[in-house]
Amino acid sequence: MITVERLTKRYGGFTAVDDVSFTVRPGRVTGFLGPNGAGKSTAMRMMCGLTVPTAGTATVLGKPYAALPNPARHVGVLLDASAQHAGRTGRETLTLAAIMVGADRKRVDEMLDLVGLTPKEAGRRVRNYSLGMRQRLGIATALLGDPQVLILDEPVNGLDPAGIRWMRSLLAGFAEQGGTVLLSSHLLLEMQEVSDDLIVIGGGKIVAQGSKEELLSVPGSVVASLDDVALATALERGGFEVTLHAGGGLATSAQPEQVGVVARDAAIALTNLTLAQNHGLEELFFNLTAETAREEVAA
């Protein structure tokens, strides 16, 4: 479990992370979302003991990261895949990491196989790796100590579709075994696919958090009838919000069973009745972060 309480980081007069609180639960993949400059990476660095908070606390498995005995045996971290030593081979990188954390050397081959780096690729210098290969090596390093928690910043960058699908399966399997996953990514469709819970940050503040189902759900119904105007009037009389569609039918805050009762009492025949469609994560993201997102300038 990761617990963040009133976490704040200021740089002079600039507040990068502003009084942030949330919990990342075991057995779940939690997506951490926000525009560039929203404070995601700074918050993750504070969780991993790399940046000192101005105020507040961040604990992993009940302790500050630095207070954990041999932290890499408990927490797997990937914050920057490009930070690996370019002159070492992939195998050397993992072997040195295994020595440092006290992991069995057998884990090196196991992790190389798990992340799909072949013996030939493992013997290649990291400077000759693609970004996707560096990501795989970074994941192998994060998993080397058999941790209970994963903190990953943009781990799917550079992966091809097959690699993204592999990453999705790996993270889901880790969570299913009781692990805790905090995952940051700009690939919103992928985050919608893999995440169980979502935390959205904008301008250094949390603007939404909860289960994916809670945040993406839209209450109410979509309905069509033989007399939509009369149905809209009856629903409004019952205290429900109603929006008429120009092409026919209407959206209402009433649940399907409530619509059915109102239509029955008003003697209006329904021709279609469904739950309102959920938001997509992309729609939710832009609605929540529009005021704090940077405007991209066309080249």
DSSP per residue, the chain: -EEEEEEEEEETTEEEEEEEEEEE-TTEEEEEE--TTSSHHHHHHHHTTSS--SEEEEEETTB-GGGSSSGGGTEEEES-GGGS-TTSBHHHHHHHHHHHHT--THHHHHHHHHHT--HHHHTSBGGG--HHHHHHHHHHHHHTT--SEEEEESTTTT--HHHHHHHHHHHHHHHHTT-EEEEE-S-HHHHHHH-SEEEEEETTEEEEEEEHHHHH---SEEEEES-HHHHHHHHHHTT--EEE-TTS-EEESS-HHHHHHHHHHTT--EEEEEEPPPPPHHHHHHHHHTTTSPPPPP-
pLDDT above 50 for 188 = yes
Look over the chain and give the mean of its residue pLDDT values, rounded to a whole number: 90
| pLDDT of the residue at 37 | 85
| pLDDT of the residue at 294 | 52
Report the top-level CATH class of 2-214: alpha beta
- CATH 3.40.50.300 residue ranges of the chain are 2-214
- CATH 3.30.70 residue ranges of the chain are 218-275
pLDDT above 80 for 171 = yes
Q: Does the structural domain 218-275 have CATH classification 3.30.70?
A: yes
pLDDT above 80 for 18 = yes
pLDDT above 50 for 298 = no
Tens of pLDDT, residues 60-107: 999 999 999 999 999 999 998 888 899 999 999 999 999 999 999 899
Share of the chain above pLDDT 70, in %: 96
| pLDDT of the residue at 292 | 64
Average pLDDT of 161-187?
92
